[in-house]
Every structure is written in structure tokens, then in C-alpha cells.
Amino acid sequence: MALRPSRVCAHAEGMNITHTEKLSTSESLALLRGAPIGRLAVVIGERPDIFPVNHVIDHGAVVFRTGSGSKLAAAIGQHVAYEADGYDASNAQAWSVVVAGRAIEILQLHDVLEALGLPLFPWEAGAKPHVVRIEPDDITGRRFAVHGGTRLALGGPLPADSRVQPPRIRTS
């Protein structure tokens, strides 16, 4: 059996690793606006749980719709985190944004009507009558260059100085 070189490269010596760029709140919100889906982190019974959720950004807050259930029960009135990330193949950069804050259910009639007018259409079938807003206490974002791993999986080239050499096989 012939051995082939691995396409995944961990850290190659001499690779020019760039720094992680901290994003401003406005840059972070702009990236969230373009993200189709994120992850809501809550605590259920003293254990963390994560739910994929599609969202919109409205007046600097994350807004999503949901049905009744554990996600709604765990989120409302509690501190939660919401995270989305992405990858820009054109420049091999990844980003991540985290919104931490309190989740509130929108209940006032005028607020509900305004929220229902947002371009927010749940992906999952079924009734999603509850509109939830995460009022942010903190919004953090970062962007960094991708080397190996995901870049390769998305068809990007290996940097010349990080090519993995096949192992030498002894024949004696």
C-alpha cells in the first residue's frame, strides 16, 4: 500500500502566523447580519446546551423566533451567549462573534408586531410564535488568517513552506 502525504498541516516551522484581529462592535454586528445561522448557548439543569438558530440583528440586538420548549424555557430571563462564525475563502480569513446578554421574550403588542415585520423566517417547520431578543451586555469579535485545516478542506492551496512530506519508507 502506497502512503500519500496528508493534506492537513498542523503548525509548520517558519510559517508566518498573523495575529488575531479584535473587531469593533459595529464590525461584529455587520458580520452577524451576514451570517445565516448562529448558536444559542444556554444552561439547562446545570449543564450547558447549544441550539442552532437563524437570526436577525435589530437595533444592535440578536432576535430569533422559536416554539415552546427547552430552548425558550432555558433562555428567557437568563444570561445567554450567541455565537456565529464564518470563513471568507477569497482571503482565507475566519471570524467569530459572540454576543453575551440577557434573553427576553418580546411580549408588548407593538414590539411583537414590529419584530414580526423583520426579515426573520425560521428554517425549521412548525409554529414559532415566540420572539426572543438578546439584549447584549458584551459583543466580542475576532478575525484571523487560516493556515491549513479548513482552508484545505475548502480547496485552498497549501502554503509553499508548509507542505507535508511523505514519510520515508525503508526497504532494507
| Residues 129-155 pLDDT 10s | 899 999 999 999 999 998 765 445 555
Residue 16 lies in a domain: no
Q: Which of 93, 94, 89 is nearest to 156 (CA)?
A: 89
Question: Grid coordinates representing 128?
Answer: 414559532
Residue 168 lies in a domain: no
In whole angstroms, give the CA distance from residue 83 to residue 73: 19
Residue 101 lies in a domain: yes
Residue 47 lies in a domain: yes
The type of residue at 7 is: R
Contacts of 94 (CB under 8 A, 6+ apart): 85, 86, 87, 88, 143, 144, 146, 150
Q: Which of 13, 9, 7, 5 is nearest to 147 (CA)?
A: 9
Using CA atoms in the order 51, 57, 59, 60, what is the torsion angle rounded to 10 degrees?
70
Cell 488568517 locates to 145
Residue 170 lies in a domain: no
For 113-131, the pLDDT digits (tens) are 888 888 888 888 888 889 9
For 2-50, the pLDDT digits (tens) are 433 333 333 333 434 468 999 999 999 999 999 999 999 999 999 999 9
Cα-based angle 15, 21, 27 (whole degrees, multiple of 5) = 145
Residue 56 lies in a domain: yes
The enclosing domain of 74 has a CATH number of 2.30.110.10
The number of folded domains in the chain is 1
Pairing assessment for the beta strands 47-53 and 38-44 based on DSSP bridges: antiparallel
Residue 41 lies in a domain: yes
- Domain carrying residue 100: 24-156
Provide the whole-model pTM. 0.74
Residue 13 lies in a domain: no
DSSP secondary structure letter of residue 25: H
Q: Cβ of 36: how many Cβ atoms within 10 Å? A: 9
